[in-house]
Amino acid sequence: QVQLVESGGGLVQAGGSLLLSCAASGSIVSISTMGWYRQAPGKQRELVATITSGGSTNYADSVKGRFTISRDNGKNTVYLQMNSLKLEDTAVYYCNAAAIVRGVYFRNLDAWGQGTLVTVSS
């Protein structure tokens, strides 16, 4: 069982910055990849960025050069530093983790947070 809790969302002006965080808890053995996804009103959920346990990152073209994903493996926490925010960045941002959890046996699962709202105003 894994729980993901996002925080750091809010209202910011275009051009501003915001730091999102996501803390994973539960019977976690390890987390291979963590990532951020977002969903704007009326649109499908899209990948924003991912990061592996080894630090390899992947970004959507729309956020390259503006967003930075990082993680603290010891705390099972992933961050998303968002700079130069644009109106089109407005969305609910969701945290995702591909984890191995401890139960009757070790198993793989994808966990999702409930989301944190980021609103960028003009």
Per-residue model confidence as pLDDT tens digits over 47-106: 999 999 999 999 999 999 999 999 998 899 999 999 999 999 999 999 999 999 998 899
What value does the mean pLDDT take over residues 12-30?
97
- Which pair of tokens denotes residue 114? 């409930």
How many angstroms separate the CA atoms of 74 and 40, rounded? 31
How many angstroms separate the CA atoms of 105 and 12, rounded? 44
> Is 10's pLDDT higher than 90?
yes
Ramachandran region, residue 64 (left: φ > 0; alpha: ψ -120 to 50; beta: rest): beta
